[in-house]
Structure 1
Amino acid sequence: MLLLCPMLVLGFLYYSSGKLHLRSLGQRPQVDKDISFWDMGRLVVYDKQGFLIKPDGKLPLELQYKYGNLSKGECKPGFSEFKMISLYPKFVKPAPMFLDLNFKRMSKISNYPPPFGIKTQENMITVILDETKNYGLGDELDRLSCKRCIIVGNGGILFNKSLGSKIDEYDVVVRLNEAPVKGYEKDVGTKTTMRITYPEGAIQKPDLYEKSSLFVFSAFKPPDLKWLKHIVFKEKVRGTDGFWKSVARVVPRNAAEVRILNPYFIQEAAFQFIGLPRNNGHMGRGNIPTLGTVAITMALHNCDEVAVAGFGYDLNNPHSPLHYYEKLKMSAIKDSWTHNISKEKEFLQKLVAAGVIQDLTNGI
């Protein structure tokens, strides 16, 4: 009993200070190990990243009533945000999808170079944004009071699932890198709101691009933004210095159809959500999240409901197809030095288990 009393007092003090911190800053202190405390007679345990362990997934009565009165399939306002905060109390939603001319005011990205921020690239970004002049999804989507978004991954698990019509029902359909649509419509759908990519991942044949979609650029290194400037201004791309493979020379998009992804999503996914090494804010071995997880992070901040399809690396089956559109095998993912697939999968599994996102292919 003598030992128990001080422990209870310490637990209460931690809990009280944590709740005050939550209310003032929307987050709990970062810790390097699991923590637990008692809340209303219930043991609450958070992991070292700040995620609730074993969330009950229950909605408050007011939300049960609110969502219960919606028609089947109707968008549920604020659903993913509520679920995310229940799982990860320090989640703060406001974070714009794309950079606009006020990007220098975003303190969270100002102190990091690409891929985690914009340091050293401010002038180049300003030049590009002055030319694109558009910084949202477009008038129709920007006016929606509730958005249902789906991130379509490139995984082989999508093949022969016939999810195309289901995918096309979402308001915002996000695709990644060079993953094709033509010829795979039955499984991946026909609708593309945006395609997120970087120089080495961009489609290299202009005729393979969809007729209308946003070209969303994610910068991982300084040469990437120089490449984007050439693309936006229709300049000739010269040389391949700074790139690890050949890059697209032409992107069939007008400047008004180009966006720059907010690098905060890379930073948050890497350091806060997955817990990858910071490496003094520079790209290093195993500290870059996959573009799919970055896209999910973006959607959590900007969509009311979030779903995914085509996610999941089955590393125990090295001969299974890595992508739905080519013969590359799962074993190839082991060659990647930038990603930590196992830690990333742990994060995504938390989201699925808590109902923050819906996994249509059940690969996560």
Structure 2
Amino acid sequence: MYLKVAKTWCIRLVPLVLLLISYYCFTFYVQSNGSTIKFPAPTKSLCEEWMGQGKKWESLNFTSITRKTDLFLKLEDFFWQQHLSTLALPYGIKGSESLLLKILAVTANYKMPSTIDNLECRTCVVIGNGFAIKNSSLGAAINKYDVVFRLNDGPVRGYEQDVGNKTTLRIFYPESAFYNPSLHNNPDTLLVLVPFKQQDLRWLKEILYNEKRVRKGFWKPPPQIWLAKPSQIRVLDPYFLHHTASKLLQIPLQQKGREKLFHPTTGILTVFMALNYCDVVHIAGFGYPKVKDQKQPIHYFGSSTMTAMKDSYHDLGREAQILRKLEEAGAILYLHAHS
């Protein structure tokens, strides 16, 4: 009888043993093949690791940069007082105060959702539009972060397996806006305008007040009808672009002589925003092909190649260097292999 019982238990244990063997074989295979895909741990684990290492912002030793967690412009910045900005757009609001007053009076909300703002530790991921994220299968992992930043017109539908389908903040400017934001965003996604020029604010005011659209002043026609809810709209404080340029990238803010004037990309700007607001910052989809690879696609969508960047007003080499330094300092973590 005992022999029969023992035999029955042995038969029942066979699937478990096979499962364990399969798991260890798979683990050995991944390690031996030098897998470079980094699947992030659950939120709790990421925060415990961050707490144990000490706060990243303090360890970066940014010169004369105070951490700022209020990302958006607020009406009280202008109401009953004169804003003391000494710089015009994109690095300040001098000369644009009246436009901002009208915009902020309609949008009426200037905060992050309390469900995120009240978190003791915020985990964030910044999703760039680079080709490196294509075929990465990172979608499910990306959706687990508290905050998912997306850039410009990077699509979600049809690319969920690689880029996920959660969007907390969409950072954009008029030329990169979707006609219908609901196509590639969640219903509660915050649409954060980066005003590079006064015409960007005028475009938003004309949309909000249903005024006659002025088409001049854009390098590409922005949507003339924009189906965004005012409650979703935010205007980024120029503080972040100013400090990304002057402190992080250390590039000139004004043109001197024939010197070409560079501006930060929305990608490096958003990384700096995340470093200010978040406690854990991971990134994916960053990096451009080498200049000699003119036929290499630069996005995970579409067909644009490096030839489209030949007249760029961005210092891509400098930005890559800064991202590398941030990675080496442990301030950011890439979720996939990169050069």
Q: What TM-score bracket applies, with the shorter chain setting the length?
A: 0.7 to 0.9
Structure 2 counterpart of 1:99? 73
CA distance in 1, matches of 2:162, 2:325: 26
| Residues 126-145 of structure 1: per-residue CA shift (max 9 Å, x gap) | 11111111111212112212
Structure 2 counterpart of 1:256? 231
Change in 2 beyond 3 A, CA 1:199/1:358: same
- Secondary structure at the aligned position of 1:270 is classed as helix
- Secondary structure at the aligned position of 2:170 is classed as strand
Contact preservation (8 Å) 1:200, 1:245: yes
- How much has 1:328 moved relative to structure 2? 1.0
Larger radius of gyration: 2
Write the letter of the residue equivalent to 1:184: Y
Contact preservation (8 Å) 1:109, 1:264: no
- How much has 1:192 moved relative to structure 2? 0.5
Q: Which ranges of structure 1 fall in alignment gaps of 5 or more residues? A: 1-69
1:318 aligns with 2:291: no
CA distance in 2, matches of 1:76, 1:229: 44
CA distance in 2, matches of 1:142, 1:87: 23
Write the letter of the residue equivalent to 2:61: Y
CA distance in 2, matches of 1:354, 1:134: 35
1:123-272 aligned at under 5 Å gives the runs 123-205=98-180, 208-212=183-187, 213-233=189-209, 235-236=210-211, 238-272=213-247
1:20-35 aligned at under 5 Å gives the runs none
CA distance in 2, matches of 1:159, 1:178: 16
CA distance in 2, matches of 1:318, 1:299: 31
CA distance in 1, matches of 2:59, 2:202: 41
Structure 2 counterpart of 1:333? 309
Moved more, 165-174 or 210-219: 210-219
Change in 2 beyond 3 A, CA 1:173/1:75: farther
- How much has 1:360 moved relative to structure 2? 1.1
CA distance in 2, matches of 1:275, 1:319: 31
- How much has 1:309 moved relative to structure 2? 0.6
Contact preservation (8 Å) 1:81, 1:301: no
CA distance in 2, matches of 1:280, 1:319: 32
What is the TM-score when the length of structure 1 is the normalising length? 0.74
Count of residues in correspondence between the two structures: 291
Write the letter of the residue equivalent to 2:299: H
Write the letter of the residue equivalent to 1:145: E
Write the letter of the residue equivalent to 2:253: R
CA distance in 1, matches of 2:216, 2:54: 41
CA distance in 1, matches of 2:139, 2:45: 20
1:72 aligns with 2:83: no
What is the TM-score when the length of structure 2 is the normalising length? 0.79
Contact preservation (8 Å) 1:163, 1:188: yes
- How much has 1:353 moved relative to structure 2? 1.1
CA distance in 2, matches of 1:247, 1:80: 44
CA distance in 1, matches of 2:178, 2:54: 33
CA distance in 2, matches of 1:80, 1:296: 20
Contact preservation (8 Å) 2:122, 2:280: yes
| Residues 227-248 of structure 1: per-residue CA shift (max 9 Å, x gap) | 0112233x15523111111111
Structure 1 counterpart of 2:61? 88
Structure 1 counterpart of 2:21? none
Q: Which ranges of structure 2 fall in alignment gaps of 5 or more residues? A: 1-42
- Secondary structure at the aligned position of 1:110 is classed as coil
Contact preservation (8 Å) 1:177, 1:198: yes
Write the letter of the residue equivalent to 2:72: F
Structure 2 counterpart of 1:294? 269
Write the letter of the residue equivalent to 2:273: M
The alignment-based identity, stated in percent, is: 37
- How much has 1:205 moved relative to structure 2? 4.7
CA distance in 2, matches of 1:225, 1:314: 33
| Residues 117-168 of structure 1: per-residue CA shift (max 9 Å, x gap) | 1110111111111111111121211221211111110001111000101111
